[in-house]
């Protein structure tokens, strides 16, 4: 959420910046400023009314003490009217503040200056590519056919138990999945991230804190009786660990990693491009979250990007990095780098990770602050990244490592799996 004082002070700058997102923010920002002026006027009137009421109350006390009961009674009638006026002004203030908050929630984050203009993922910019694309046999199969051939992932059985988008991993498929999770967590903890185990449901305040609500409400599974949401990513519970906190300067950098299943409705996802593991309603992911001082957040983003690079190098998967354009940038992000692995059998790139800097956008919602050298409260910066999302990493391994003898396991994973080939 953008800070209100910055909207007032830098309205034209924000309007121009949000044009990269193909948004005309002028009407919304003007409405926010007008509503804020109204809120301030109501607050001023309320403060004056309360001050007058308090002054009369003191005068009434003096009059009663000096035996001037009649005069005191007349003043009491005025205080009754003032209390009623204060009540009405208080209710109007709360209503106006709530409307103002609703409007503030509608504004996305301001893109970083390096974000390219663009309308969709077609306008994202490739900034790095690494790894050799393997040459497969002519009869190479996509991962959903390999899963069936070697009986390691059962999509049909998942439909029977739950529905489409809920696969069941079996045998060596389940062990490979577990191996990837352990490997990712080990890499992250070795890099100084603290591992946390997290709830798989969060309350509404947590959803608003990281920006999933109200922006992505339709994509989240909602447990209505308890008003809880199944998490779409571990980013949500991890970042909310510090909601309403003032963290000490000594605690920076704050670095967390966590493995969770993730749940997304993915409404409107159809077609061949979502077959198999390409898009699921439930999937596993290991997440990175960092909380930083503002001046260090972009160095932290670079460090997170290099960290994911190293993991993909060890897995020996061909990958590339994209700088997302304004039209493809997530609502809360200021800058995002997408990692994509090349699926040789599908002959296309598959997104496997996003690494993002949210700057102060989430922290403002979360009221996540720290004290600077002068003792003043400042908003921290938050970042997150997938390290990694398992479905498409697994798809890339199955497809790129397939041979006539079976599916070889990346060397780095063999100690975690306990086997070197699926056949």
Q: Is 354 annotated as a binding residue?
A: yes
Q: Specify the 3-state DSSP secondary structure of 127.
A: strand
Q: Is 306 annotated as a binding residue?
A: no
Question: Chain-centre distance of CA 135, in angstroms?
Answer: 37
Q: Is 320 annotated as a binding residue?
A: no
Strands 319-323 and 125-130: antiparallel
Are 294 and 360 within 8 A, CB to CB?
Answer: yes
**Cα distance from N-terminal residue to C-terminal residue, the chain:** 51
Are 306 and 339 within 8 A, CB to CB?
Answer: no
Q: Is 384 annotated as a binding residue?
A: yes
Q: Is 26 annotated as a binding residue?
A: no
| Token pair of 113 as six digits | 């200056």
Asked whether the bond before 238 is cis by omega within 30 degrees of 0, the reply is: no
Asked whether the bond before 214 is cis by omega within 30 degrees of 0, the reply is: yes
Are 288 and 97 within 8 A, CB to CB?
Answer: no
190: phi > 0 → left, psi -120 to 50 → alpha, else beta; which?
alpha
Are 389 and 367 within 8 A, CB to CB?
Answer: no
| Token pair of 3 as six digits | 């800070």
- CA nearest 109: which of 194, 1, 208? 1
Residue-by-residue DSSP string for 327-352: GGS-TT-SEEEEEEEEETTTTEEEEE
| Token pair of 276 as six digits | 């198999």
DSSP annotation of 325 reads P
Helix (H) or strand (E) holding 344: none
For the chain, the maximum distance between any two Cα atoms, rounded to a whole number of angstroms, is: 106
| Token pair of 218 as six digits | 């339709």
Q: Is 287 annotated as a binding residue?
A: yes
233 CB-side CA count, 13 A: 22
Q: Which residue has the tokens 């109350």?
A: 57
Q: Is 353 annotated as a binding residue?
A: yes
Q: Is 314 annotated as a binding residue?
A: no
* Binding-site residues for ATP: 264-266, 351-354
* Binding-site residues: 233, 264-266, 287, 351-354, 384
* Binding-site residues for L-serine: 233, 264, 287, 384
């Amino acid at each position: 959420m953008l800070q209100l004082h910055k909207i007032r002070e830098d309205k034209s700058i924000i309007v121009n910046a949000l044009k990269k997102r193909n948004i005309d923010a002028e009407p919304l920002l003007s409405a926010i400023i007008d509503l804020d002026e109204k809120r301030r006027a109501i607050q001023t009137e309320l403060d004056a009314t309360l001050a007058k009421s308090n002054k009369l109350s003191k005068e009434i006390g003096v009059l009663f003490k000096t035996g001037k009961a009649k005069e005191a009674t007349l003043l009491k009638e005025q205080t009754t009217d003032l209390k009623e006026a204060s009540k009405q002004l208080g209710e109007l203030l709360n209503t106006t503040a709530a409307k103002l908050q609703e409007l503030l929630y509608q504004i996305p984050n301001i893109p970083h200056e390096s974000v390219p203009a663009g309308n969709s993922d077609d306008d994202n910019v490739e900034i790095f590519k690494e790894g050799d694309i393997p040459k497969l046999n002519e009869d190479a199969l996509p991962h959903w056919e390999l899963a069936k051939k070697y009986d390691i992932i059962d999509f049909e059985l998942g439909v029977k138990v739950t529905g489409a988008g809920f696969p069941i991993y079996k045998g060596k498929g389940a062990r490979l999945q577990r191996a990837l999770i352990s490997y990712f967590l080990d890499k992250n903890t070795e890099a100084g991230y603290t591992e946390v185990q997290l709830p798989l449901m969060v309350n509404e305040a947590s959803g608003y804190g990281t920006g999933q609500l109200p922006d992505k409400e339709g994509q989240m599974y909602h447990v209505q009786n308890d008003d809880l949401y199944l998490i779409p990513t571990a980013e949500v519970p991890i970042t909310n660990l510090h909601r309403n906190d003032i963290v000490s300067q000594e605690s920076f950098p704050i670095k967390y990693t966590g493995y969770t299943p993730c749940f997304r409705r993915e409404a409107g996802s159809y077609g061949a491009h979502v077959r198999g593991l390409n898009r699921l309603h439930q999937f596993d992911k290991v997440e990175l979250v960092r909380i930083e001082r503002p001046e260090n957040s972009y160095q932290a983003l670079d460090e997170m990007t290099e960290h994911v690079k190293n993991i993909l190098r060890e897995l020996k998967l061909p990958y590339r990095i994209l700088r997302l354009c304004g039209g493809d940038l997530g609502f809360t992000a200021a800058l995002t780098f997408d990692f994509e692995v090349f699926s040789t059998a599908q002959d296309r790139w598959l997104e496997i990770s996003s690494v993002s800097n949210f700057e102060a956008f989430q922290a403002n919602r979360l009221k996540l602050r720290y004290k600077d050298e002068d003792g003043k409260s400042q908003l921290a910066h938050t970042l997150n990244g997938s390290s990694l999302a398992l479905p498409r990493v697994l798809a890339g391994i199955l497809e790129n490592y397939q041979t006539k003898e079976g599916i070889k396991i990346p060397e780095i994973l063999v100690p975690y799996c306990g086997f070197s080939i699926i056949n």
